[in-house]
């Protein structure tokens, strides 16, 4: 198998595995005593509705896929952003909003997919800047 195809399959497999882990984590949170919020808006509970969040997430995914075709992007950044975005979309379609459960001090409640999106975008922007 050519190296490029192998790397793409490895990246896709990593995204699917991470989505599965994140979805299992959501159901673990639902049945536990951790914070549990269904966030029907976007970006820390602000900026619109569930539909807007799905549309923005899909635009983000398509934009990244177009960018990947034109320029190299770190597989780790791609895996993090795509896994987080797709997991949040799945939650919004199934639960009517993303499931937020991490609560630290005064920061609004968020979830692991949000952390992955921020980490992936940070890696991406660092690569673009250097």
How many whole angstroms separate alpha carbon 5 and alpha carbon 31? 40
- What pLDDT, on a 0 to 100 scale, did the predictor assign at position 33? 59
Helix (H) or strand (E) holding 29: helix 3-30
pLDDT in tens, 96-111: 888 888 777 777 788 8
Report the pLDDT value the prediction gives residue 120, as an integer from 0 to 100: 93
pLDDT higher than threshold 90 for residue 119: yes
Question: 30-34, 67-71, 77-81, 126-130 — which one is most confidently predicted on average?
Answer: 77-81
Distances from the Cα of 128 to the Cα of 4, 29, 71, 119, 123, angstroms: 22, 36, 10, 14, 9
What is the rounded average pLDDT of the residues 82-91?
90
- Structural domain boundaries of the chain? 3-129
Q: What is the pLDDT of residues 14-52, one digit of tens each?
A: 888 988 888 887 677 666 656 778 887 666 555 666 777
| pLDDT band for position 69 (cuts 50, 70, 90) | confident
């Amino acid at each position: 198998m050519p190296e490029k195809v192998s790397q793409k399959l490895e990246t896709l497999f990593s995204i699917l595995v991470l989505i599965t882990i994140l979805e299992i984590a959501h159901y673990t949170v639902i049945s536990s005593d951790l914070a549990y919020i269904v966030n029907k808006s976007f970006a820390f509970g602000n900026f619109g509705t569930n539909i807007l969040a799905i549309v923005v997430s899909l635009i983000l995914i398509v934009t990244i896929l177009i960018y990947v075709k034109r320029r190299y992007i770190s597989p780790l950044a791609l895996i993090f952003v795509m896994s987080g975005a797709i997991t949040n979309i799945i939650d919004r379609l199934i639960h009517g909003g993303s499931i937020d459960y991490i609560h630290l001090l005064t920061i609004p409640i968020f979830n692991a997919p949000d952390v992955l999106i921020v980490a992936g975008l940070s890696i991406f922007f660092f690569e673009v800047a250097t």
